[in-house]
Structure 1
Amino acid sequence: MSRTIILQPDGRPAQRPGTTLTSLPPLSVYVHVPWCVRKCPYCDFNSHAASDIPERAYLDALRHDLEQALPSIWGRQVVSVFIGGGTPSLLSAAGLDELLAMLRSHLRLLPDAEVTLEANPGTAEAGRFRDYAASGVTRLSLGIQSFDDAQLQKLGRIHDAGQARAAIRMAQQAVARVNLDLMFALPGQTLDACLADVRQALSFGTEHLSLYHLTMEPNTVFAKYPPRDLPDDDTAAAMQDAVQAELAQASLQRYEVSAYARPGARCKHNLNYWEFGDYLGLGPGAHGKISFHDRIVREARARQPESWMERASRADGSHIAETRTLGTLDLPFEFMLNALRLRDGVASSLFAERTGLSLAAIAHQLEAAVSRGLLDADPTRLQASSLGWRFLNDLQEMFLSN
C-alpha cells in the first residue's frame, strides 16, 4: 500500500501540529525586567541601559500581560517564579512587592514555590534585599562573574570585588538560598586565577554556583571587538576540569551543564526547564512554553520595552510577537535539547509524559547514540554517557528531524 506525503512550501514533510498529553507538566513563571545600569560587552540578553527605569508603566503593562495570559494557564499551580533581566534589583522594594502581590493574586502559587530574583552586586543594598525577602523572594542569584577587579573592568561590570563580597553577605542574611554566577576563560586568565575565583566563592559557604564559559556571542561588543589573550580551548577545558574537582571536594556536584549544587540546593526553576516543564514568560522579550492536552505552544513577547509596554496595554494580544505550535517532528529535539543537559538525564518515561509521543518515535536515534557511545544503554533513563557529555552538541543534534 502506498501513502501520500504532504509537503510544506519548503519541500519538507508536513508535521502533525499537535500531540496528546494525559497530564500537564509543572508550570513555572518567568518575569523579565529589561533594564540595567550599563550593558556589558559580552551580554546578548534583552537588556537595555537606562539611568531611570519607567517602573510604574512597566508594572501596569506587566499586569495587562499577565491578565491576557490567564486563559492559557487557568487553574494550574505554579511551582516556581524567576525574575530575571537585565537587572531586576533595580526595581524599588515597593515595585517588587507589587509585582509579587500581582502574581499571587492572579495565579495559584504553591506555598513552597521557589521565588528567585537576579541581582547585580553593584545595585545591592542590605535594606532592599531584606525587603525583597519580606515580599516573598526565597532565592537571590548574584552576578559576581569574578573577584578580580581587573577582570571585572574588562567585563564592563559596574561592581568591584569588595562590592561583590559585601553583596554576598547581604544576600545570605536576607534569604535562605543564594546562587553565585561566575565566568571562566576570561581574557588573560590563568588556571590559578580561575581557581582563586572559585575558592573565593566557596569561602562564603556557597551552596549553588553557576559557572559560564565566556563566549563571543553575535551582536555584542565583544563579537565586534574581541578581547585579546583569550585562553585556548585546551586551557579552558583544563579550567573546567579543575573547577569541577575543586567543587566536588566542597560537595557541590555538577548537575547541569553550567550548574553545581550541594544536595538539596538545586534550582527548582531551572530544573523545570531541563525536564521540559512549562513556563509562562512575561515581560519584554520573554519566551514561554505552554502545554495543552492536544498541543504544545511556544511564544515570545515583543523585545523592545517601549513597544511591549504600549502593545500589552492595548489588551489585544499584539504584544506577543511569535506563537508556534510544536509539531511531532519538533518535539524529540526540543525535549532532548533540554533533558540531556542534566548530568543524570531523566527517566525514559518522561519523554512520553511530556511530549505525548511514544519512545518508539526516537528508537532509531537512541540506538545510533548508544552504538556511538554517546548515550548510556540503560533503557530506563535518557542520559548522556561520559563521552556524550563531552560532545553534547553532537548528541543533541542526532534528534533533529531531517
Structure 2
Amino acid sequence: MTGQNQHVMELAFPIESFLQIKEDVISNRENLEKEKSVWLSVRKLATEEDLNLLDEQFKTEFEKLGSLFLNPPSTELQNVLVSLQVLVQKGASAKRLGNDELGNYNLAMAIKNIPIITSKASLEIACEIIRITIIAEADLNSQKAYAGNGGSNSIEWICLYLAAGVGNESYIHNMDHYEYCYKIFCWIIESEILKNTSIYKFNPFSIFIINLRNSPEALDLQEKIILRMICLGISPFPHEEIYQSLSFFNRIAPVNLKWIGILFPYENDYIKPYLKAMKMSINEEIVTGLINSCTSSNTGRKYFKVFFSLHAHWLLEFIIESVPETIFSLVRRNEKDLLVPFLKNFQPAMRNLRDKKGNTLLHQAMLCRGLIENTIQLLLQAKFSFHVINKDGITPLELALKNNRTDLTRLLK
C-alpha cells in the first residue's frame, strides 16, 4: 500500500480499531471452538441413552431460569450455573430447549430478559449461563422469545438492545448491561452455527442499523459492533433479506455520519470479504437510499463531498456504470456538493454519460427550470462541451436558447 493510499485509508476507515477487533474475533472464535471441541469429544464417548438423559436434565435445569430471571437472587442463579456446567462437562447439549416463543423457557427468552436483571453479580452469572448454552449448541436460529407480533430469536434481541444504546428510553439503562450484551453478541455472532450467515433468517447487520438510536454513552461500542460485522464479512444488504428497510440510512446519519464511510469503505486488502459481499448486494434502491439520506441536510452533503472526494471510490464507479440516472437526478436537483466527487475522480466517464435521448449532463442542466448556475459552472470546469449534440442534433447552448434561458446562455459563451 502506498503512503498516499494509507493516508486515504486512515481518513476514511478506522483501520487500527478494525485490526484490534479482528484479533479479538480470532481469539474469541478460537476459545469458543476449543471449548466446543472438548464438549464434542466428551459427547462422542457417551451412549445414546446417557445423552438423552443428560439433554433432558439440561433442559429441566435451564427452564428454572424462567422464574429466577424475573427476580434473580445471585445464589440461586449460581446454583443453576454450576448444575449446567457439570452437565455440559458430561456432554449434555441444549438441543432440547423449546423453540416456541410461547413455550418453555429457552435461550432467546433468557437473552430477552437480560435488561430486567439489576444486580451486576447476577448479570455476570446469567451471561455465563448464556455462553455455555451456546457452546452446548442451543438452536440460535429457531429458539424464539415473544415480541408482540411473533417471536424473535437471540441475535434479533441482542442486536435490538445494542442498537438502542443506553438511557431511560432504551432497553438497557447502564453501561454494565450494555457491555454484557456486547459480550453475548460476540459469542453468538462468532459461534459455529452463525459462521455461515446464509442460513440465518434475519441479517444481524440490517437489524442493528435499522434500530439505531442516538446514544452518546454507547457510541464507541456501537462502532465496534459495526466493525465486527465488517470483519466477519457480513453485508448490511443481503440478497435475500426479508427484513430489510433502506430507511436505516436515515438512522445512521443523525447518530454518526462517519459510519456511512465505514459502511462504504475504500478498497483495502484487510476488508476484501466485506467488500466482495457489499459489491454483490449493491443496487439502485440502496444507492437511492444513500443519496436521499445525504441530501437531507447540508451536513450530509458536506460529508458525502469530503469523504467520496478522497480517492476514486468503487461505489461512485458503480453508480456511473450501473445507475447513471442517479447522476442526472443530482444535476436536476442542483446537488453540486454530491457531484463534486464524481467530477473530481471520474471526469471522462462523467462527460461520456448519456440519457435515453442522448443528452449529456450539461444538456440536462439546460433543461432544468430552476436556478442551477453553480452546477453548470461545475460541469464547465470539468470540461463539459456545450457543442456536443444529443439524438435530436441539439447542443446544450441551443437548448438554453430554445428555452429562453438567457441567464444560462451567458455561461456558455
- TM-score range relative to shorter protein: under 0.3
Q: TM-score, normalised by structure 1?
A: 0.26
Specify which structure has the bigger relative contact order, considering alpha-carbon pairs within 8 angstroms and separated by 6 or more residues: 1
